[in-house]
Amino acid sequence: MIELRTPRLTLRPWIDEDEPAMAAINRDPEVGRFLNRPVEEAVVEGFFAMIADHWATHGFGPWAVEYEGRFVGFAGLAHLPPFLADAGPGPELGWRLDPAVWGRGLATEAAVAARDDAFGRLALGELISIIHPENARSQRVATKLGMRLCRQIHNPVLDRDVEVWHAHPLR
Ligand SMILES: CC(C)(COP(=O)(O)OP(=O)(O)OC[C@H]1O[C@@H](n2cnc3c(N)ncnc32)[C@H](O)[C@@H]1OP(=O)(O)O)[C@@H](O)C(=O)NCCC(=O)NCCS
């Protein structure tokens, strides 16, 4: 399996040791505040298997992100859950890091690498990101990526409208 390198990060396949670290990130209330659905314990426990299944089924998925030799979260592609089908076919470019490393530009750096791989190696024509209207950090990441806020859709699980951001390859 390939890895992606950036100046500060390695985006790599997941290893077993990432599972408890990712579960701790997922359980952090600050991390879960603006996600597409509430972070229930069943979701946390099934998360690692869900990512492995996504890679096995689609040949791509969220990358494990390593910074200074430590797993710090993920960035990469995932198909949207059926309840967000109004957003279009996707896939979604997403990002989620350990709060201990927020604010250093790492999510943007990781997402740029995942995006470039999606438009390059995978030759995808469009990526979307669903962002909670109050998730200012995530909106900033999307803006720095050059994504465009296109419209809002209703998230029936949260019972509120959320933003659909788009990215396209440079032509
Ligand atoms: C969203 C997330 C990945 C950002 O990670 P990060 O490594 O801090 O992101 P970056 O440092 O690349 O960029 C964050 C930007 O938000 C800005 N920012 C930080 N706090 C902010 C705030 N309260 N309001 C507005 N902007 C803020 C930062 O200044 C930075 O912008 P800048 O580079 O122009 O200064 C991280 O906060 C996270 O994991 N959140 C929880 C999961 C989540 O919500 N994922 C996205 C779902 S759509």
Instruction: State pLDDT tens for residues 51-105.
Output: 999 999 999 999 999 999 999 999 999 999 999 999 999 899 999 999 999 999 9
pLDDT category, 17, cuts 50, 70, 90?
Answer: very high
Residue 1 in this model has a pLDDT that exceeds 80? no
Nearest CA to ligand 1 atom 17: 137
| 138 in contact with ligand 1, CB cutoff 6 A | yes
Strand segments (E) across the chain? 4-5, 9-12, 62-67, 70-78, 92-97, 127-131, 148-155, 160-167
Contact 145, 111 (CB under 8 A): yes
| pLDDT band, residue 171 (cuts 50/70/90) | low
Type of residue numbered 5: R
Domains, the chain, ordered by start: 4-167 (3.40.630.30)
118-136 confidence digits (pLDDT tens): 999 999 999 999 999 999 9
Q: What average pLDDT does the segment 153-163 reach?
A: 98
Pocket test for ligand 1, best of 132, 140, 158 (most atoms within 8 A of CB): 140
